[in-house]
Amino acid sequence: MSLYRNVIWFLKGIHEYTRTGYEEASKHFVAKDLDVSVVGRTFMVTGANSGIGKATAMAIAKKGGMVHMVCRNKDKAEDARTEIVRESGNTEVYIHIVDMSETQKVWEFAEAFKKQHPSLNVLINNAGCMVHKREVNAEGLEKNFATNTMGVYILTQSLIPLLQNSRDPRVIAVSSGGMLVQKLRDGDVQSKKGYFDGTMIYAQNKRQQVVLTEQWAKANPLIHFSVMHPGWVNTPAVSTSLPQFHQMMGERLRTVEQGADTVLWLAMSRVAVRTPSGQFFQDREPVPAHLPLAWTHSSTEEIQNFMTKLETLAKATQCLVV
């Protein structure tokens, strides 16, 4: 089954996830969907100093939005902010230095942000990592899981009250089509068992993001939740984490602007919020979150087990903060 999933996924990717796939899909885009001003609206973008996150922050700033850049590296964040302000002419771009793998730090940041800011219209969970050797954070959580899943869970869960009190609130998670080869592991959420494969663990984390989005959408009808696949994009993260894939795909990889397009559409367009909350998107269209005949669907019980374990892990670290 694993071989079947991987083969079907790769063939799908060659057809849909490449630059050519984007160019074909974009023929059906409606240009005026992004002909909007977001002056007066506040956006938070994690991992905003490079790649898709930086392209997203840049585009929002150019449209007049206030941007909160959540970044791990202070020097890179400041360089990115300088460039964004220079090109957009928008000075309402702010830096917050947070390592999304440091669970307590994420709690502390989110709680402080709520006290300091009256509103947040859009949260874009873009930051992620793919570590190929098992590492744990200060709380003993595996680093991929801590960054890609727990960090997203804590930041979003903590900011939901602020989002609910803001106008037209939205939450977008930048996932990956790689999650299509993974079924949710409700019993081993940190991938502690078996061989450590960073690529597959990353894909599992991205499946977890899809499940989280679906569950948040059900529990929070005042907020529009969505999760998306940007395609195969030429980013620093891809070249570092998947060097062979990056070299093999070469010019077939999408630009960061192409990768950010659906993020921006979900974050800014009026059309996006007319779609049902909780869906998985690719190139501005909701698409299935499962490959056909791949047996990756989870039962209600499995999803509940996963959510309970996530909540338990999160509360254990929250107690050390509040």
Q: What is Dmax (Cα atoms) for the chain?
A: 52
Taking only the tens place, the pLDDT of each residue in 38-80 is 999 999 999 999 999 999 999 999 999 999 999 999 999 999 9
Task: Give backbone dihedrals phi and psi of 76, rounded to 5 degrees, phi first.
Answer: -65, -35
Taking only the tens place, the pLDDT of each residue in 144-156 is 999 999 999 999 9
CA dihedral for 29, 33, 38, 41, sign (positive or negative): negative
The helix (H) or strand (E) run that includes residue 56 is helix 51-62
d(CA 228, CA 171): 11
In total, the chain counts a number of residues equal to: 322
Domain boundaries, position 95? 2-318
The pLDDT of residue 34 is above 80: yes
Taking only the tens place, the pLDDT of each residue in 104-134 is 999 999 999 999 999 999 999 999 999 999 9
Number of independent structural domains in the chain: 1
User: For residue 215, what pLDDT is reported?
Assistant: 98
d(CA 63, CA 33): 13
In the block, tokens 């079947």 appear at 4
Mean pLDDT, residues 195-213: 95
- Helical axes 151-164 vs 300-318, angle rounded to 10°: 90
Strand partners, 254: 233
Active site residues: 202
Find all residues with CB under 8 Å of 151, minimum gap 6, and list them.
46, 100, 101, 103, 106, 127
Instruction: Quickly list DSSP for 180-220.
Output: GG----SS-TT--SS---HHHHHHHHHHHHHHHHHHHHHH-
In the block, tokens 């990768």 appear at 259
Strand partners, 172: 124, 226
User: For residue 33, what pLDDT is reported?
Assistant: 97
Task: Give backbone dihedrals phi and psi of 233, rounded to 5 degrees, phi first.
Answer: -115, 145
Asked if 88 and 58 count as a contact pair (C-beta separation under 8 A), the reply is: yes
Task: Find the CATH number of the domain harbouring 146.
Answer: 3.40.50.720
Q: What is the pTM of this model?
A: 0.96
